Amino acid sequence: MSDGATFDEMWGHDATLRDPYRGFHDWFAEEDPARLRAKQREAEEIFRLTGITFNVYGRAEAEERLIPFDIIPRIISGHEWSKLSRGIEQRVRAINAFLHDIYHNREIVKAGRLPESMIAGNEAYLPQMIGVQPPGGVYTHIVGIDLVRTGPGEFFVLEDNARTPSGVSYMLENRETMLQMFPELFSQNRVRPVQNYPLDLRRSLAACAPGGTSGKPVVAVLTPGIFNSAYYEHAFLADQMGVELVEGHDLRVVDGRVAMRTTRGYTPVDVLYRRVDDDFLDPLNFNPDSALGIPGIMDVYRAGGITIANAPGTGISDDKAIYSYMPDIVEFYTGERPLLQNVPTWRCSQPDDLAYVLDNLADLVVKEVHGSGGYGMLIGPTASKKEISEFRRKLKARPGNYIAQPTLSLSTVPIFARSGLAPRHVDLRPFVLVNPNGVKITPGGLTRVALKKGSLVVNSSQGGGTKDTWVLEE
């Protein structure tokens, strides 16, 4: 149950069962705990047999781990989701408009709403994209928006993921596993489906094909290869979409088109869903030592001969310093106040902000502006004096490399523990598809859960797990 200060999504602030969980609560009360424990073990076995793993880096060698999965669903009402969806769509449209602007007229800089230094000095900004018009005007074909919750109607955006958002395969496998183990739950609760995502993804990507594409657009998924931490997802999505999974050596430029090797020779590709970082995409235009990309693909792209999803250069919108300007960015491009709020953020590049952060390190969360996966961050309230001291030195040496935020009281949802239901902190990554015809948001997304009691770190690479996310029909 809730501890009073933390909002529990099942029990609220005052230990009163919330409406979205009523159907589930009634079912759970009738269940035999021994059966549920057996089901939890069964779920782990399904994940092991399916091969749902991820690689943990930063050790002597990469270590492959099973993704921990919890059988208790996270449940969101249709009304809550409707409100969230409007905010997510507004934000994604603003990000797309922002990317177009900074690679063209830079109106937001001219208007004084964003410092020039945020773009010019940003390692994620690609000068090679200046003046390039992506097919259909779409930069962010697939977006993941990380959200946290602090109260009944209080959602905050923690970060934006427009470069190469991952985790959608876990969302789909979580649902498939729950449907297999507890079909009765889905007949008793009106849960909106997520299984159409691969078909929606393929259709959305096809809708972004370059002008002049004849017939059904050819879509392919570009992976760095089997040693990449998200390779399972690359293979899964290609298989689910019914498209080819390719590596750089399978592709070449032929007659001004990017073509993939097949048993019938080379076939032109219209849309490439790439899971390779910008720097490795084209050794002729970026890192000359890259063996993962396709020489000359950027020249074909600039000429309008292929769609690259997501567009090169989108990573600047994931930057955590840019994040701190997102309320201004949303307002500038939509003319509306942001429907989803940012977490208050101090920019350590600014002397006054840096002084405040240094004085309050023990109470703050400090993140690298280009960091991801829970690495390179300090969680002040749980850090040792030695860790805080070391981080203080890093901050003073490179203040522009960091932002800081207050430690939010993240909402909790129940997990299935030995003692029964126990609250654990969560975040949520909804997945958004963008094409020239509109924006489509999959109902739910990936809920990541901190399995350690009291922990705020939900990343699987840092000991977190996942659970199925239900959005109920309104």
Q: Identify the residue with better confidence: 261 or 407.
A: 261
Q: For the residues 381-400, what does the mean pLDDT come to?
A: 91
Which residues pair with residue 22 across a beta bridge? Answer: none
Q: Name residues whose C-beta falls within 8 Å of residue 222's C-beta, 6 or more positions apart in sequence.
A: 246, 247, 248, 251, 272, 273, 274, 275, 276
pLDDT at 316: 96
H-helix or E-strand spanning residue 404: strand 402-406
Predicted confidence (pLDDT) per residue in 129-170, tens digit? 999 999 999 999 999 999 999 999 899 999 999 998 999 999
DSSP3 helix / strand / coil % (the chain, rounded to 5): 35, 25, 40
In this prediction, residue 1 has a pLDDT band, given cuts at 50, 70 and 90, of: very low
Q: Are 210 and 134 in contact (CB under 8 A)?
A: no
Cα dihedral value 226, 232, 235, 237, nearest 10: -150
- Percent of all residues in the chain with a pLDDT value above 90, rounded to a whole number: 80
What is residue 443's three-state secondary structure? coil
Mean pLDDT (the chain) is 92
Predicted confidence (pLDDT) per residue in 202-233, tens digit? 999 999 999 988 899 999 999 999 988 889 99
Rg (CA), the chain: 23
Cα–Cα distance for residue pair 355/358, rounded to 1 Å: 5
Please give the single-letter amino acid code of residue 399.
P
pLDDT at 459: 75
In this prediction, residue 381 has a pLDDT band, given cuts at 50, 70 and 90, of: confident
Tokens of 97: 């408009």
Q: Are 135 and 208 in contact (CB under 8 A)?
A: yes
What residue has token string 């919330």? Answer: 18
Residue ranges of domains in the chain, CATH in brackets? 19-210+306-340+408-471 (no CATH), 211-305 (3.40.50.11290), 344-406 (3.30.1490.270)
Cα–Cα distance for residue pair 275/302, rounded to 1 Å: 19
CA of residue 402 relative to chain centroid, distance: 20
Cα–Cα distance for residue pair 88/354, rounded to 1 Å: 30
Predicted confidence (pLDDT) per residue in 306-351, tens digit? 999 999 999 999 998 899 999 999 999 999 999 999 999 999 999 9
What residue has token string 């006054």? Answer: 352
Range name among 125-139, 292-306, 317-331, 358-372 with the lowest pLDDT average: 358-372
Q: Identify the residue with better confidence: 25 or 453.
A: 25
Burial class of residue 12, CB neighbours in 10 A (0-12, 13-18, 19+)? middle
Predicted confidence (pLDDT) per residue in 235-275, tens digit? 999 999 999 999 999 999 999 999 999 998 999 999 999 99
